[in-house]
């Protein structure tokens, strides 16, 4: 790779497919690290773990490094980071939420930045004309924004939608009180809401099928109840109680 040149435009960076936006960011970081690299012909190659040259590589050390980097990147979300991975929420939903916070979802805005779609195709499926960013999609569109209003009306709470995903998550789970049991349920409910909104958007795009706002609310109630019931077997109430 050194002989092929690993600077920008070098032959060492030839890919069989177009890189995603986050992959290009990682590639730039790698190039910056290699700028200070000097190849010594007479020295043997050895592996060295820069984070801990004495003890070497460990899974725990690598995980701590990745987690620290993620917390630094999402400083506003660092306090709530551990609660993404919940036992009472399906793993695929937790993975989905993790991608949402890191802006790794295949939204139209991300597709436009990757030159996959044209600028005139960035409009939302609800017909508002705004670009489909994650913040707009889940909280600020007229159609999907109404879902949060209906949920708050159902729970008899009052609040406004913050501008960012991390702020919304932190605010929502304490909007019904600071008791541990209430915060835990609001966490679970937040996951159910974003999951229903994402599935509804995909249904509108792929099957041209639209659900009413009250149908979405019923789906949120049913999904959150099923998750809660599966985790707490002693919960003896039924869905219509």
Residue-wise pLDDT for 124-177, tens only, equals 655 566 667 787 778 877 778 889 899 988 888 887 777 778 778 888 877 777
Residue-wise pLDDT for 30-77, tens only, equals 777 777 767 677 777 777 787 787 888 888 888 877 777 665 555 545
Mean pLDDT computed over 199-222: 87
CA angle 238, 239, 241 (to 5 degrees): 65
pLDDT above 70 covers a percentage of the chain that reads 76
Mean pLDDT computed over 209-215: 88
Are residues 77 and 101 in contact, defined by beta-carbon separation less than 8 angstroms? Answer: yes
Residue-wise pLDDT for 107-117, tens only, equals 777 777 777 77
pLDDT given at position 193: 92
Largest CA distance in the chain: 77
pLDDT given at position 12: 62
Buried b (16+ CB within 10 A) or exposed e, 30-40: eeeeeeeeeee
Q: Tokens 């700028």 identify what position?
A: 35
Rg (CA), the chain: 23
């Amino acid at each position: 790779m050194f002989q092929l040149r690993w600077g920008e435009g070098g032959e060492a960076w030839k890919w069989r497919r177009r890189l995603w936006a986050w992959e290009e960011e990682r590639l730039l970081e790698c190039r910056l690290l290699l700028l200070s690299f000097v190849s010594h012909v007479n020295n043997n190659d050895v592996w060295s773990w820069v984070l801990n040259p004495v003890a070497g590589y460990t899974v725990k050390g690598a995980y701590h490094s990745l987690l620290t980097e993620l917390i630094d990147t999402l400083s506003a979300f660092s306090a709530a980071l551990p609660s993404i991975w919940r036992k009472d929420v399906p793993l695929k939903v937790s993975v989905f939420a993790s991608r949402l916070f890191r802006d790794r979802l295949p939204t139209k805005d991300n597709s436009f930045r990757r030159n996959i779609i044209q600028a005139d195709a960035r409009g939302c499926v609800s017909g508002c004309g705004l670009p489909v960013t994650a913040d707009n999609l889940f909280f600020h569109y007229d159609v999907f924004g109404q879902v949060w209003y209906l949920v708050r009306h159902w729970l008899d709470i009052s609040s406004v939608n913050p501008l960012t995903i991390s702020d919304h998550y932190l605010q929502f789970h304490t909007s019904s009180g600071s008791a541990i049991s209430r915060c835990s349920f609001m966490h679970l409910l937040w996951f159910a809401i974003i999951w229903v909104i994402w599935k509804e958007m995909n249904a509108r795009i792929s099957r041209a099928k639209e659900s009413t706002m009250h149908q979405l609310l019923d789906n949120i109630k049913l999904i959150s109840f099923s998750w809660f019931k599966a985790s707490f077997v002693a919960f003896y109430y039924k869905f219509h109680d």
